[in-house]
Amino acid sequence: MPASASPHTRSAIVTRLRAAGCVFAEDEAQLLMSAAATPAELSTMVSRRAAGEPLEHVLGWAEFCGLRIAVDPGVFVPRRRSEFLVSQAVTLARQAARPRTVAVDLCCGSGALGVALATVVGQVELHAADLDPAAVRCARRNVADVGGRVYEGDLFEPLPGTLRGRVAILIANAPYVPTEEVGLLPPEARMHEPRMALDGGADGLDILRRVAAAAPLWLAPGGHLLAETSERQAPRLTEAVARSALTPRVVRSAELNATVVLACRGG
Ligand SMILES: C[S@@+](CC[C@H](N)C(=O)[O-])C[C@H]1O[C@@H](n2cnc3c(N)ncnc32)[C@H](O)[C@@H]1O
């Protein structure tokens, strides 16, 4: 359906989206009109969005690091703030100046972070993994574009053993919302993203502590773990990482409200 079709339709959609609380109703109307192939499809898409489904699930894609990443309903929508983690990973991969970077994207969801890293850096051997079969199905479509592989299972468990000691960049945007705060998230997240994508346990760090504990086994000498967290959680995650004999530092983007713990395996 042409994006320019019927100004009447467009203004009716904007009004409906605005009434449903969509702050960027004009932009969203434009995107939905561009995506729908028929008036019937447009009507369904507008209804889904007005009922509170994330725009990305309705469109079937999210913009991340300038890329279109496929995102299926029920799969975590990659957040703009995670572009900061990717930019840090790109810098580290370039500094390492290896002919080919071995990268792992743990808790990969749609695979957005690993795909963005591989796209920007090039020459990346990308492995991604997630416990949720729906995320794995979605990630396989995205990761195929950069020639990577996606595995299903708990954290490192499904990765090929041949990766041990070879990983230069280990990305982990794992769930890190403390259990008691999951109920405070916006309805779009609470109702349309799986709890296992959000809930990080009592203090939000249950999964990231497990990642930090096992990371030294998988990292190459000089390799880095990059874990997104909140500013408040960063000191506790830094301690966990240091207990694993990795050398941590915390980097922060005020603009994106993003905090990342970087941890290097010495040697
Ligand atoms: C916050 S989402 C992030 C997804 C993706 N990294 C991103 O930033 O778009 C966390 C992801 O971790 C996955 N997950 C949760 N527990 C896991 C586990 N024990 N092992 C592997 N993946 C897990 C969830 O299924 C979800 O896709």
Nearest CA to ligand 1 atom 4: 109
Predicted confidence (pLDDT) at residue 59 exceeds the cutoff of 70: yes
Mean pLDDT of the chain: 95
Sequence-distant (≥ 6) Cβ neighbours of residue 69 within 8 angstroms: 61, 62, 63, 78, 110, 111, 112, 115, 142
Tokens encoding 255: 């603009």
Q: Which atom of ligand 1 is nearest to the CA of 207?
A: 19
Percent of the chain with pLDDT over 90: 94
Task: Give 68 Cα–ligand 1 centroid separation in angstroms.
Answer: 19
In the reported structure, the alpha carbon of residue 198 is separated from the centroid of ligand 1 by a whole-number distance in angstroms of 8
Q: Which two tokens stand for residue 237?
A: 């995650």
Task: Work out the pLDDT band at 94, boundaries 50, 70, 90.
Answer: very high
pLDDT at residue 15, rounded to an integer: 96
> What ligand 1 atom has the least distance to the C-alpha of 171?
6
> Quick one: pLDDT at residue 1?
57
pLDDT tens column, 202-235: 999 999 999 999 999 999 999 999 999 999 999 9
Q: Are 113 and 83 in contact (CB under 8 A)?
A: no
Ligand 1 nearest atom to the CA of residue 82, by list position = 8
Give mean pLDDT, residues 15-35: 95
The C-alpha atoms of residue 146 and residue 96 are separated, in whole angstroms, by 20
pLDDT confidence band for 2 (50 / 70 / 90): low
pTM, 2 dp? 0.95
pLDDT exceeds cutoff 80 at 7: no
Q: Is 4 a residue whose pLDDT tops 80? A: no
- Which residues form ligand 1's pocket by a CB distance below 6 Å? 76, 78, 82, 107-110, 112-113, 130-132, 135, 154-155, 173-175, 196-197, 207
Strand partners, 62: 69
